[in-house]
Amino acid sequence: MARFIRTVLFLPPGVEQDEVTEDMILPGSNIVVGPYAGHSQIKEVEFVKSSAKAKDCPKDDKPEFAILGRSNVGKSSLINALVRKKEVALTSKKPGKTQLINHFLVNKSWYFVDLPGYGFAKAPDAAQMNWSTFTKGYFLNRETLVGVLLLIDASVPPQKIDLDCANWLGRKNIPMTFVFTKCDKMKVSKGRRPDENIRNFQELIRENYNKHPPWIMTSSVTGLGRDELLLHMSQLRNYWDQ
């Protein structure tokens, strides 16, 4: 058990390994809740701007979380579930906005950033290049980035395009959380269950990370992981803020 905890759990700021008890671990995740966890619900969301480059993004030094994933991963559904408003994700789905960095101000205090998806699984290389030149610039230059939420569809086996993205973020030491989507899809007739896909995914990316990143299971259909993800974000944000 001790070894399991040391290699697998995500310890937030303010928590030591030996003080972790089971009730501090968020269900369906490897995330420990620490002293910085606090107010987490989203009361108010305001679209601020769409930017073509990192240098055009808002400059008021508020902490931000970026949300990223392959097309069809369930990003709009998750944003709607977190925010409980339909129009938020829809704004960035308008033609022309999907290739931009879209900033939303939450509770007047932090940003939720919707990044361009990295194409369909079968997208031509050109679409992926487009992602790499411009979204990578954002990751490398955005000082107020508290964390990236990388969305991974847990109802399918690990996809190369997701592994490439996870490995790149890991190698660059960009703080990130794996948010596994569609975890309600337990009854697939063929293939593996979400928990097996999740385990396989983590084994495939392990060597690119010094520390095991936080991960969490979610479903926009059942609400699984919603409050837990918001709480996790609150502790990272509050630590960053102080």
Q: Could you say which of 25, 48, 221, 231 contacts ligand GDP (CB under 6 A)?
A: 221
Q: Could you say which of 31, 73, 88, 205 contacts ligand GDP (CB under 6 A)?
A: 73
Q: Could you say which of 40, 51, 76, 91 contacts ligand GDP (CB under 6 A)?
A: 76
φ, ψ (nearest 5 deg) of residue 223: 85, 5
Is 184:221 a contact under the CB 8 Å cutoff? yes
Of 164 and 184, which has the nearer Cβ to ligand GDP? 184
Is 240:232 a contact under the CB 8 Å cutoff? no
From the list 103-111, 132-140, 186-194, 216-224, the region that binds ligand GDP by CB under 6 A is 216-224
Q: Footprint of ligand GDP on residues 95-134 (CB under 6 A)? A: none
CB 106 to ligand GDP: min, Å:
19
Q: Is residue 75 close enough to count as binding ligand GDP by CB under 6 A?
A: yes
Of 154 and 169, which has the nearer Cβ to ligand GDP? 154
Q: Is residue 71 close enough to count as binding ligand GDP by CB under 6 A?
A: yes
Question: How many CB atoms sit inside 10 A of residue 75's CB?
Answer: 24
Q: Is residue 184 close enough to count as binding ligand GDP by CB under 6 A?
A: yes
Closest residue to ligand GDP: CB criterion: 74
From the list 32-40, 119-127, 202-210, 219-227, the region that binds ligand GDP by CB under 6 A is 219-227
Q: Is residue 182 close enough to count as binding ligand GDP by CB under 6 A?
A: yes
Is 60:49 a contact under the CB 8 Å cutoff? no
Q: Which residues bind ligand GDP (CB under 6 A)?
A: 69, 71-77, 181-182, 184-185, 219-221
